[in-house]
């Protein structure tokens, strides 16, 4: 039982029986293992709920959402399929629900996003340090249970809009032979109003400010801590730091890794954004990078939309327009939800757990304030009430040991349990599986490439590979290289400003690396399954995002 939670342990006999589940896919794209106990706890309480809420609330006739299993610290997903009879019964209701969604695709995300923003702002505005223990406990449980709403916001638009994206891609292929690897597809989905890219925008702008203020030389200091000290000791530097601190204050909920609770926020460690800025200044990426291209992207998108619309047979025009709108909404949602769900909400949980940690450590209940992420939410709550009378060290040590065991297995977990050839059936049934997990379009042998992915961001690039394991390696990414990673998440976005290309193991049609790759004009290939295993750092590779192929040249 992982972390004492009656989690969904893999029962090899039942779960690997093809009559019960077609296959299990390692969810490393969204949820790189291992997880800390508090994160597992959230998924135990509300994560799985959301995964099933999404399809249930729209009465999806083909999927009842995801089932999951915990195996060796890894998180494996499969699809729960309704019987044919159940599916038939759900169809008419699903049509009604989807009709409303298609009539105004953006609304299905907005109806969650707008109140969520309000609620999260309210949570962030609460005075943590000044609250009494009882108030903090109350606030903690309130925040925790808000997780239910957050997961609803996470999954309802995902299912509702995801099927629109898939249908649009189908129509685009049929009418114009354009696939998601074509530049036209990217152009149709770029230059959209996406709050997420504003974060990169903020970083780039403040980097530009540093250059303008003549701080370029100061930024040559490679050590971030020393850089902070140097800036603080200089008038100009101080002036810049004020602006920088203001930015960190505003968007300090950012973390390197989205769906987890173990990594620090910018509020906790402002050297994190400082390192990104440092790289921008030193690379001369001080003109807000490609984001200044936005008006250009919008113009190009609108022009292409019109061109295609003119070519669409009149009988299909309205359909095309509706689906395009839905597909664009799905892209906006896909990026923005990471900001709201993965960044803001999980940072709210983390910062609150840390406040308990600070109090617990002060009272000698734990050694390190950060240790509270090794507890469950109700353990934090109970310990929060009865502070001073309990020692949490034994429990935390046991949980840390378990975490260490899982960590050892990291990178050794197979991407699929069960029959990998069945993945395509899961993908057929569940649209979100297909936007997030898709099998490669061919085997490398078939096409004579080193690796083949499932989707790409257009363009071809050759360069030196820089293989990284996880977000803790982000600082090691060398500017001008091609990033090779198990997966990228929203928190990696700043790096896209300095790399030449991206290759990932996991991914599907709406994977982060693709969306951001398109926005930054960087060729990408995702869903290659084994890029991090086959490619070594320093090797020359060629990434062909147009055909989803990667070639190792050395």
- Listed in sequence order, the residues at least 6 apart from 95 whose beta carbon sits closer than 8 Å to its beta carbon are none
Extract the tokens encoding 34: 């291992």
| Shorter beta-carbon distance to another protein: residue 208 or 312 | 312
Cα separation, 34 vs 400, in Å, equals 11
CB of 526 to another protein, least distance (A): 22
Between CA 342 and CA 349, with CA 345 as vertex, the angle to 5 degrees is 115
CB of 96 to another protein, least distance (A): 10
CB of 506 to another protein, least distance (A): 23
Give the DSSP letter of residue 58. T
| Shorter beta-carbon distance to another protein: residue 95 or 393 | 95
Note the Cα 132 to chain centre separation in Å.
35
| Shorter beta-carbon distance to another protein: residue 99 or 389 | 99
- Listed in sequence order, the residues at least 6 apart from 270 whose beta carbon sits closer than 8 Å to its beta carbon are 228, 244, 245, 248, 252
| Shorter beta-carbon distance to another protein: residue 138 or 428 | 428
CB of 155 to another protein, least distance (A): 18
CB of 65 to another protein, least distance (A): 17
CB of 309 to another protein, least distance (A): 12
Cα separation, 508 vs 518, in Å, equals 14
| Shorter beta-carbon distance to another protein: residue 33 or 164 | 164
Determine contact, residues 430/62, Cβ cutoff 8 Å: yes
Q: What is the contact surface with another protein in residues (CB under 8 A)?
A: 61-62, 91, 95, 98-99, 102-103, 163-164, 166-167, 170-171, 313-315, 318-319, 321-323, 428
| Shorter beta-carbon distance to another protein: residue 10 or 79 | 79
User: What phi-psi label fits residue 476: left (phi over 0), alpha (psi between -120 and 50 degrees) or beta?
Assistant: alpha
- Listed in sequence order, the residues at least 6 apart from 407 whose beta carbon sits closer than 8 Å to its beta carbon are 34, 73
Beta pairing, strands 524-526 & 23-26: unpaired
| Shorter beta-carbon distance to another protein: residue 66 or 159 | 159
Specify the 3-state DSSP secondary structure of 253: coil
Count the Cβ atoms, other than its own, within 10 Å of residue 190.
25
CB of 322 to another protein, least distance (A): 5
Beta pairing, strands 74-79 & 455-457: unpaired
Q: How much helix, strand and coil, in percent to the nearest 5, is found in the chain?
A: 60, 10, 30
| Shorter beta-carbon distance to another protein: residue 177 or 314 | 314
CB of 378 to another protein, least distance (A): 41
Beta pairing, strands 540-544 & 23-26: unpaired
CA-CA-CA-CA torsion for 138, 142, 145, 147, nearest 10 degrees? -130
Between CA 314 and CA 317, with CA 316 as vertex, the angle to 5 degrees is 65
Determine contact, residues 431/159, Cβ cutoff 8 Å: yes
| Shorter beta-carbon distance to another protein: residue 95 or 299 | 95
| Shorter beta-carbon distance to another protein: residue 165 or 218 | 165
Cα separation, 5 vs 145, in Å, equals 18
CB of 337 to another protein, least distance (A): 21
Give the DSSP letter of residue 11. -
Residue 74's beta-bridge partner residues?
71
CB of 24 to another protein, least distance (A): 23
CB of 94 to another protein, least distance (A): 8
Cα separation, 167 vs 443, in Å, equals 25
| Shorter beta-carbon distance to another protein: residue 147 or 162 | 162
Q: What are phi and psi of 364, to 5 degrees?
A: 80, 15
Peptide bond before 34: cis, by omega within 30 degrees of 0? yes
- Listed in sequence order, the residues at least 6 apart from 430 whose beta carbon sits closer than 8 Å to its beta carbon are 55, 62, 63, 65, 66, 79
CB of 469 to another protein, least distance (A): 36
Give the DSSP letter of residue 371. G
CB of 168 to another protein, least distance (A): 9
| Shorter beta-carbon distance to another protein: residue 424 or 546 | 424
| Shorter beta-carbon distance to another protein: residue 233 or 306 | 306
């Amino acid at each position: 039982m992982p972390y004492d939670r009656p989690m969904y342990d893999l029962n090899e006999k039942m779960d690997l029986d093809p009559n019960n589940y077609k296959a299990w896919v390692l969810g490393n794209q969204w949820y790189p293992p291992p997880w800390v106990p508090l994160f597992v706890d959230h998924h135990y309480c509300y994560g799985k709920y959301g995964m099933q809420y999404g399809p249930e609330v729209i009465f999806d006739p083909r999927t009842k959402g995801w089932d999951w299993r915990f195996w060796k610290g890894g998180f494996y997903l499969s699809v729960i399929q309704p019987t044919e009879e159940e599916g038939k019964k759900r169809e008419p209701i699903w049509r009604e629900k989807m009709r409303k969604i298609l009539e105004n695709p953006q609304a299905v995300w907005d109806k969650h996003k707008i109140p969520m923003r309000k609620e999260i702002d309210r949570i962030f505005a609460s005075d943590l340090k000044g609250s009494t223990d009882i108030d903090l406990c109350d606030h903690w449980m309130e925040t925790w249970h808000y997780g239910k709403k957050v997961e609803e916001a996470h999954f309802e638009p995902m299912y509702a809009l995801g099927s629109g994206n898939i249908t649009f891609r189908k129509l685009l292929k049929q009418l114009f032979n354009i696939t998601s690897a074509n530049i036209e597809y990217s152009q149709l989905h770029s230059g959209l109003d996406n709050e997420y890219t504003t974060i990169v925008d903020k970083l780039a702008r403040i980097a530009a400010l540093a250059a303008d203020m003549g701080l370029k030389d100061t930024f040559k200091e490679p050590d971030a801590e020393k850089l902070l000290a140097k800036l603080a000791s200089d008038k100009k530097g101080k002036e810049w730091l004020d602006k920088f601190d203001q930015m960190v204050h505003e968007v300090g909920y950012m973390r390197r890794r989205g769906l987890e609770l173990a990594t620090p926020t910018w509020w906790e460690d402002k050297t994190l954004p400082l390192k990104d800025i440092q790289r921008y200044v030193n690379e001369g990426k001080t003109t807000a990078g490609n984001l200044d291209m936005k008006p250009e992207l919008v113009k190009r998108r609108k022009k292409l939309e019109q061109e295609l619309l003119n070519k669409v047979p009149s009988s299909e025009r309205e359909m095309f327009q509706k689906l395009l709108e839905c597909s664009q909404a799905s892209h906006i949602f896909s990026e923005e939800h990471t900001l709201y769900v993965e960044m803001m909400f999980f940072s709210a949980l983390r910062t609150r757990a840390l406040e308990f940690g600070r109090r617990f450590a002060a009272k000698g209940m734990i050694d390190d304030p950060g240790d509270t992420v090794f507890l469950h939410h109700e353990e934090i709550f109970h310990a929060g009430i009865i502070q001073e009378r309990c020692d949490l060290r034994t429990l935390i040590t046991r949980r840390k040991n378990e975490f260490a065991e899982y960590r050892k297995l990291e990178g050794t977990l197979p991407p699929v349990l069960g029959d990998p050839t069945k993945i395509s059936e899961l993908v057929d049934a569940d649209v979100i599986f297909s936007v997030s997990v898709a099998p490669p379009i061919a085997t490398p042998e078939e096409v004579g490439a080193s690796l083949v992915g499932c989707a790409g961001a257009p363009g071809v690039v050759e360069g030196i590979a820089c293989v990284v394991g996880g977000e803790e390696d982000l600082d090691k990414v060398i500017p001008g290289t091609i990033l090779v990673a198990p997966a990228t998440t929203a928190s990696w976005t700043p790096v896209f400003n300095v790399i030449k290309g991206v290759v990932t193991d996991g991914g599907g049609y709406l994977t982060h690396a693709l969306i951001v790759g398109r926005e930054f004009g960087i060729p990408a290939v995702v869903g290659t399954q084994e890029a991090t295993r086959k490619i070594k750092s320093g090797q020359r590779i060629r990434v062909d995002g147009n055909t989803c192929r990667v070639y190792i040249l050395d």
